[in-house]
Copies of this chain bind each other. A is one copy, B any other.
Amino acid sequence: MRHITHIRDLGVDGVSRVLDRALGWKTTAPGAIFSGRILGMLFFNPSLRTRASFEAAMLRQGGHAIVIDVNSGSWKLETADGAVMDGDRPEHIREAIPVLGGYVDALAVRCFADGNPAVDVQDQLMHSIRAHSLVPVVSMESAREHPCQGLADMLTIREHCGELAGRKVTLSWAPHIKPLPQAVPNSFLLSAAAAGCEITVAHPPGLELQDEVLSEAQQLAQESGARISFRNDQQAACADAEVLYAKSWGGATDLDFAELARQHSGWQVTRSLLEAGNVRSKLMHCLPVRRNVVLSDDALDSELSLVAPQAHNRLHVQRSLLHEVFNGGN
Residues 40-84 of chain A: 1 if any B CB is under 8 Å from the residue's CB, otherwise 0? 100100111101110110011000101111011111001000111
Q: Is A160 an interface residue (CB 8 A)?
A: no
How many copies of this chain are found per oligomer? 3
Chain B binder among A94-102, A141-149, A165-173, A234-242: A94-102
- If A82-B292, A83-B292, A102-B309 are given as contacts, then 13 extra A-B residue pairs at C-beta distance below 8 Å, sorted by A number, are A40-B52, A48-B74, A51-B73, A59-B64, A71-B73, A72-B73, A82-B297, A85-B292, A91-B289, A92-B288, A95-B300, A95-B307, A99-B308
Q: Is A269 an interface residue (CB 8 A)?
A: no
User: What is the distance, in angstroms, from A146's C-beta to the closest C-beta of chain B?
Assistant: 15
Q: Is A287 an interface residue (CB 8 A)?
A: yes
Distance between Cα atoms of A74 and B52 in the complex (Å): 10
Distance between Cα atoms of A100 and B311 in the complex (Å): 9
Main secondary structure on A side of the interface with B: mixed
Distance between Cα atoms of A112 and B52 in the complex (Å): 22
User: What is the distance, in angstroms, from A58's C-beta to the closest C-beta of chain B?
Assistant: 9
Q: Is A260 an interface residue (CB 8 A)?
A: no
Contact check, A69 vs B73: say whether CB atoms are below 8 A apart: yes
Interface residues on A, range: 35 or more
Known: A103-B53, A308-B99. A293 touches B73 (CB 8 A): no
Query: In the assembled complex, which residues on chain B have CB atoms less than 8 Å from the CB atom of A315?
Result: 102-103
Q: Is A291 an interface residue (CB 8 A)?
A: yes
Query: In the assembled complex, which residues on chain B have CB atoms less than 8 Å from the CB atom of A289?
Result: 91-92, 95
Question: Taking each of A71, A73, A92, A309, which has the highest tally of chain B beta carbons within 10 Å of its own beta carbon?
Answer: A73
Ordered by A's residue number, 18 sampled pairs between the chains whose C-beta atoms are within 8 Å are: A46-B74, A48-B75, A48-B99, A48-B100, A51-B68, A53-B103, A67-B73, A71-B73, A84-B291, A85-B290, A85-B292, A92-B288, A94-B291, A95-B308, A99-B308, A102-B315, A103-B312, A103-B315
